[in-house]
């Protein structure tokens, strides 16, 4: 179980980084150039933020970059393609959870704070 927790923790850590979900979702539609990603992702990240996120995702094995005569294209790797439906399902479930429980989580109840 410790190994499962470690793997889950590493995956969550990578996916929780800024712009990760947006990039993976955009590239799940089709391979894109850097400028296309900047237009596709709203609100648009800065060029530096997008570049940093793409580098992190390449290093993590989720995104591949091909350099086509100066006009590079980004696409999902097999690992990124396999991860995308898991993330989509997770996001749907988190939306349901949030719709159901978020208001209750925002304010501690007497049971949460214990006896006065």
Q: What CATH number is attached to the domain comprising 87?
A: 1.10.10.10
Report the pLDDT value the prediction gives residue 78, as an integer from 0 to 100.
97
Q: Could you identify the residue written with the tokens 């006896």?
A: 115
Task: Summarize pLDDT for 20-31 with one digit per residue, the tens.
Answer: 999 999 999 999
On whether residue 24 sits in a domain, the answer given is: no
Report the pLDDT value the prediction gives residue 16, as an integer from 0 to 100.
85
On whether residue 86 sits in a domain, the answer given is: yes
Measure the CA–CA gap between 81 and 96, rounded to whole angstroms.
Answer: 24
On whether residue 9 sits in a domain, the answer given is: no
User: How does DSSP assign 40-97, residue by residue?
Assistant: HSSSPPPHHHHHHHHHHHHHTTSEEEE-STT--EEEE-HHHHHHHHHHHHHHHHHHHH
How far from chain centre, in Å, is Cα 82? 13
Q: Which two tokens stand for residue 32?
A: 């894109």
Residues of the chain with pLDDT under 70: 1, 104-116
**Could you tell me the pTM of the whole model?**
0.78
On whether residue 37 sits in a domain, the answer given is: yes
On whether residue 108 sits in a domain, the answer given is: no
On whether residue 45 sits in a domain, the answer given is: yes
Please give the tally of structural domains in the chain.
1
The whole domain housing 65 covers 33-103
């Amino acid at each position: 179980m410790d190994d499962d927790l470690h793997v889950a923790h590493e995956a969550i850590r990578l996916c929780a980084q800024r712009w990760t979900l947006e990039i993976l979702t955009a590239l799940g539609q089709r391979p894109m150039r850097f400028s296309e990603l900047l237009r596709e992702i709203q609100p648009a990240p800065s060029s530096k933020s997008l570049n940093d996120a793409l580098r992190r995702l390449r290093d993590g094995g989720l995104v591949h970059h091909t350099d086509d005569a100066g006009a590079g294209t980004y696409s999902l790797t097999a690992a990124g393609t396999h991860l995308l439906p898991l993330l989509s399902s997770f996001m749907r479930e988190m939306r349901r959870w949030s719709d159901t429980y978020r208001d209750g989580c925002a304010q501690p109840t007497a049971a949460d704070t214990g006896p006065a």
